[in-house]
Amino acid sequence: MQFLSLVPQAPLNLLVEMIWDWEAAFQSHRLERVLPVANAGLIINLAEDQTRVYDEQYRCTRFSGSTLDGPRTRSSIIDSEEQVAVMGVVFRPGGAAMFFRERMDRLANDSVDLQDLAGNDVPLLRERLLEADGPRNRLALLMRWLEKRSALAVPNHPILHVLAVLDSDPRIGALTAAAHDRGCSPRQLGERFRQQVGITPKRYLRLRRFHQVVAATENRDRIDWAGLSLDCGYHDQAHMSHEFREFSGLSPAAFSRQRDAFNGHIALR
């Protein structure tokens, strides 16, 4: 198993959080549940020119080997065979909308073939990545492709400001002050946020809080769930458990037992 990543330099880092490359042996399980995130993600499957996503009844939807996955508010199920050789880009919340100049609310909880967004150079990009000598060269090549395309991006500074406000003051009331600063109503700003980020500000904060719990349980054998619930801003443990199950499909305790070494993935079968 090998995981390598790069953090881009400015100005690309305004839109992109991380570029990564993953190689692993075939897994004993076929399917994995992936936790939802507010970040859109670019996926390039190098093992085969196809990606597969499953619903809760394990019905399969197929896409090309290069896709853009929109922000998600519920867990998704993927094929572990795609994890043999795969690359990806983690966009910052709202970053993919600016990069591709597309509304992310239209892609929430969905995926799209990357070629539909980025044009006919996508198959050539995948071909060049397959020909590249090793993961570091692949990462450098993908970085150059992103840098070239980012010249067409249109940064949405009001939304970037709102994201910064919510990250520093994770209360929905902070949106009111941010809207006042921008000379619009909270409802208007919330709608712009939904179009750019793909989810509402309230859902964004709920996801953020959920991932606080996920991070706090990593590498811990004994967990004070009641105390952790309060530390992460929930009313009580029941509130936290309800939210956790909504986002992950599992109880907090079940997740902590089943979580994969690759954080955010859960082996299914």
3-state secondary structure the chain: CEEEEECCCCCHHHCEEEEEEEECCCCCCCEEEECCCCCCEEEEECCCCCEEEECCCCCEEEECCEEEECCCCCCEEEEHHHHCEEEEEEECCCHHHHHHCCCCCCCCCCEEEHHHHHCCHHHHHHHHHHHCCCHHHHHHHHHHHHHHHHCCCCCCHHHHHHHHHHHHCCCCCHHHHHHHHHCCCHHHHHHHHHHHHCCCHHHHHHHHHHHHHHHHCCCCCCCCHHHHHHHCCCCCHHHHHHHHHHHHCCCHHHHHHHECCCCCEEECC
**CB contact at 8 A, 96 and 68:** yes
- Point out the residues of the chain with pLDDT beneath 50: none
pLDDT the model gives residue 48: 94
Q: Rounded to an integer, what distance in angstroms lies between the CA atom of residue 152 and that of residue 162?
A: 23
**CB contact at 8 A, 94 and 104:** yes
pLDDT the model gives residue 158: 87
Q: Rounded to an integer, what distance in angstroms lies between the CA atom of residue 245 and that of residue 222?
A: 20
- The string of pLDDT tens digits covering residues 3-59 is 999 999 999 999 999 999 999 887 778 899 999 999 999 999 999 999 999 999 999
Domain 2-150 falls under CATH 2.60.120 = yes
pLDDT the model gives residue 263: 65
pLDDT the model gives residue 260: 66
pLDDT the model gives residue 72: 97
Among residues 99, 90, 71, the alpha carbon closest in space to that of 155 is found at: 99
Q: Rounded to an integer, what distance in angstroms lies between the CA atom of residue 169 and that of residue 188?
A: 20
Q: What is the pTM of this model?
A: 0.93
